[in-house]
Structure 1
């Protein structure tokens, strides 16, 4: 086993349900104007799972796209991590279902429950397994279907959430060729009451308090992640934050003095997809041509718990036409 290893980022993909829910549908139910919803959240539309549609199937679709991009067969994957707050059932866990759907039978599996920070946590776990020599190829998926847990009459949350899945493939490489850099993860249980989803219940949050904490935490962890990576704000090509809502993205950008063009915003198209938010945003930026090989990307997220984190990656996925 090599003592000096790193994790290369070789594949990316995402998948969203076919059902599109625009602001008009939600505005009519809430008795508000569509423009109010967009000003409040930044959303214009989002995707919802249909009745009977399984999150595991959506996660597998995203994983399949990432594997194809990496040119890796599902049978070659030896670890599958699924970050989710909304699995189809408590057991069997989502990662086992996805492993079977991808033909990765025999791979180790793990569900990661860290709310909207779940994908970043999974990325850290997957990269750590590779660095330690305990895995060679890892699939990390963020997938959530929180439309199942919405109070459709709640003006604070009804417009925010959408469903989706995003995935990346990590492969072992030499340390100097690693794409996944330092990742810093934190928690503050005292903030737990600000966002919660009780068993059998619906999502509730204190919107104003969450806004303040989200801006503070993602701003702070941006500086922390950059310091850990030994780089400055000006060295980052693209900032990919948890796509919670447009107002939070703008406020974090303002606090850091960032040009809007350097901050990914997929909220108008997808809303807040929780653990799927970061990989969907990465995949969308890749599709739009905003991620060139070797680009430096800052990732940061926060979620219920409270949990939050940030990290730096180098974009190692080969161009689509390569």
Structure 2
């Protein structure tokens, strides 16, 4: 790590990795979906959580860590640094096999990172990437680290009750980013709002699953109970109130206090439902909405870095906003700006430079 403290820090490179297995809307797993409000947290979640046409799913025996490591290698390559240059690795693999350690430690091993590389699992579903991005920027600007790798992976298709409508759009994926001095996308500001009175509305734990009185306890290959996600009755109210209007309110206030017009922003949000995306687009009116719900479904914590990586080299707006919803219950938004760098054009014996994005 260099002893020089940089004036700014930003994202140097991104990468993502997807399982090859496709799951379409006519997949047999969705035959268990129940439209009975009694089975769906008090409202028709099947009608609410729509918009996905296909999604990627881990095959039997396939591990999300493999994709986390692959995405990390792509991010390091784009950033033009090697594993030996990584001072810290932030992020999360969800859902992990163990309460602790998180699978981020396995990714550390798979990448051959130094024994001195600090591993920082961040369990703030689904804002893990956003939180890591803010913390990584602060660490680099303070001079306590030079290059930080952030990687998030989701295997949530293996941890859902497929009688519930919120399971319909789920997809698996992993993505990574490298933060370092003078990256091309730099954190400008961030904001969060926590409604802790609703912290039990969205939970992942071991539980009986099923509809119409035919519940069972999901087990792994060793016969041990595995965690399953649930959105309780209060969760439906959270989605239709706190998340529906709270997210655009938070984003718009973040933009206002930084003097940024929404037309100057490329927006990346949680993508659990087409209804949510359309409502947020109407309330925020971004210059571009970077999302992949139709093709990749709801990738939970991997949604934000996957969409960022897909568009990293083609973003045309001067700003990017990442806006997450999450368990807890919380909302987080991060405002990033594209760094203006000199473009140098060289000719024989002369050189000219001008500023451009």
* TM norm structure 2: 0.78
Tell me whether 1:66 sits opposite 2:66 in the alignment.
Answer: no
- Please tell me whether Structure 1 or Structure 2 has the larger radius of gyration of its CA atoms: 2
Tell me whether 1:305 sits opposite 2:328 in the alignment.
Answer: yes
Shift of 1:228: 4.4
Residue aligning to 2:125? 115
SS in 1 for 2:69: helix
Tell me whether 1:271 sits opposite 2:297 in the alignment.
Answer: yes
- Provide the C-alpha distance between the structure 1 equivalents of 2:256 and 2:6, rounded to a whole number of angstroms: 22
Structure richer in helix, relative to its length: 1
Shift of 1:28: 3.3
Residue aligning to 1:7? 9
Residue aligning to 1:195? 202
Offset from partner CA, 1:111-131 (integer Å, 9 cap, x none): 110111111111111111112
Shift of 1:18: 1.5
1:1-322 to 2 correspondences below 5 Å: 5-25=7-27, 26-30=29-33, 40-106=49-115, 107-154=117-164, 156-173=165-182, 179-199=186-206, 200-205=226-231, 206-236=235-265, 238-258=266-286, 262-286=288-312, 290-292=314-316, 295-315=318-338
- Provide the C-alpha distance between the structure 2 equivalents of 1:221 and 1:172, rounded to a whole number of angstroms: 28
Structure 2: runs of 5+ lacking an equivalent: 36-44, 207-225, 342-357
Shift of 1:227: 3.4
Q: 1:38 to 1:44 in 2, by over 3 A?
A: farther
SS in 2 for 1:105: coil
- Provide the C-alpha distance between the structure 2 equivalents of 1:267 and 1:317, rounded to a whole number of angstroms: 31
SS in 1 for 2:166: coil
Structure 1: runs of 5+ lacking an equivalent: none
8 Å CA contact 2:89, 2:150 repeated in 1: yes
Q: How many residues align?
A: 306
Offset from partner CA, 1:194-214 (integer Å, 9 cap, x none): 211124442111335313221
SS in 1 for 2:61: coil
Q: CA-atom RMSD, angstroms?
A: 2.6
* TM norm structure 1: 0.86
8 Å CA contact 1:22, 1:46 repeated in 2: yes
